[in-house]
Amino acid sequence: MSKIQDLREVFDPPVEIIQAGLNGKLVLFIGSGISMLLELPSWNNLADKALDELREMKCLNYSEIEQLKNLDPKKKLSIALIIAKECEVKLNFKKYLSDKNEGDSIYKAINDIGCPCVTTNYDELLAPRFIETDNKGSKTAAPIVRIIERERLFAKLLNEPGTVVHLHGAISNQDTMILATEQYLEHYNNEQVQGFLKELFKEKTILFLGYGLEEAEILEYILRKGSAIATNERRRFALQAFFYSQKPLYDKLHNYYEKCFGVHLLGVLRDHENYKCIEKIVKIWASQIKTRKPPLVNDVDFMNEVLSNG
């Protein structure tokens, strides 16, 4: 078991993360806690908005919404989709998820790091900025490659710095969005999805952002489906915010995640800036983490993976 660091407001990124960036091995795994910093809805807020939209379309009344409000988000979204189908109406999730821009938010810092990203968020604000310099000194911005469809999930695509994998689909194609419980279960039982996660956890160094205590269930489900286990290597990290009074909880979770999944919890002190403390530290890290492309040999591995799955 590694030594548990104290809860702090500011600290440098682990050397393993810095080295992974230089080796082209770093991947940022982004959850809903990041989009909520930009005031985009959480899963629970999105479910409530869907139910209220159904009320506006006369498919639900206030009494029914009151009875549903305390269900977990996946159940509420599942019920909302069933009711929408019965009423022959279409819910418009895009209007809740597409009215923001990067600005000077945490998304700017993440995009400035420039490495590939995997996300369970539906918004499309992730757009890693990676500038390639050739041997003549010419600079070219890497194109953004957005992977939304499940059949295009290949872990080796994460060798390209401009890649963003939307594990639960994205608002640009609402039909790809994983919303209901049955969709969620079927998705993570799919061999392509499991193979992608297993390869990701095996080959890359990962920093989880936006998976706090409220998002722990989805994080653990992803880790289990990707067969993430404890290893001697420090290749998985999760940045989470805690109050100082939660230090005993932080210590126990640190040992739990490390022992069960090989994830090293990095605790940020939340007392003075609440969840903005995550934005503050990521903005600092953005200037410390340098991203490079992996060696050319990985391109050959990718071609072999595509051919073997073709």
Task: Identify the band that residue 180 occupies on the pLDDT scale cut at 50, 70 and 90.
Answer: confident
Cβ distance 118 to 136 under 8 Å? no
Tokens standing for residue 110: 């993440």
Burial of 102 by CB count in 10 Å (0-12 exposed, 13-18 middle, 19+ buried)? Answer: middle
Question: How confident is the model over 19-34, as pLDDT tens digits?
Answer: 999 999 999 999 999 9
* CA proximity to 251, closest of 35, 1, 21: 1
Taking residues 201-229, report their average pLDDT. 82
pTM across the whole model = 0.89
Tokens standing for residue 215: 């998002």
Taking residues 251-275, report their average pLDDT. 94
Cβ distance 149 to 60 under 8 Å? no
Cβ distance 15 to 283 under 8 Å? no
Burial of 107 by CB count in 10 Å (0-12 exposed, 13-18 middle, 19+ buried)? Answer: buried
pLDDT at 296 > cutoff 70: no
Q: Which residue, chain included where needed, has tokens 């977990």? A: 72
Question: How confident is the model over 94-128, as pLDDT tens digits?
Answer: 999 887 888 999 999 999 999 999 999 999 999 99
Largest CA distance in the chain: 68
Give the range among 15-19, 143-147, 171-175, 230-234 with minimum mean pLDDT.
Answer: 230-234
Q: Which residue, chain included where needed, has tokens 């629970």? A: 44
Cβ distance 124 to 77 under 8 Å? no
Cβ distance 29 to 209 under 8 Å? yes
How is the chain split into domains, by residue range?
Answer: 15-40+101-309, 43-97
HSE, CB side, 13 Å, CA atoms: give it for residue 276.
7
Which of 82-86, 155-159, 216-220 has the highest mean predicted lDDT (pLDDT)? 82-86
Task: Identify the band that residue 134 occupies on the pLDDT scale cut at 50, 70 and 90.
Answer: low
Annotate the chain with three-state secondary structure: CCCCCCCECCCCCCHHHHHHHHCCCEEEEECHHHHHCCCCCCHHHHHHHHHHHHHHCCCCCHHHHHHHCCCCHHHHHHHHHHHHHHHCCCCCCHHHHCCCCCCCCHHHHHHHHCCCEEECCCCCCCCCCCEEECCCCCEEECCCEEECCHHHCCHHHHHCCCEEEECCCECCEHHHCCCCHHHHHHHHCCHHHHHHHHHHHHHCEEEEECCCHHHHHHHHHHHHHCCCCCCCCCCEEEEEEECHHHHHHHHHHHHHHHHHHCEEEEEEECCCCCCHHHHHHHHHHHCCCCCCCCCCHHHHHHHHHHHHHC
Cβ distance 2 to 258 under 8 Å? yes
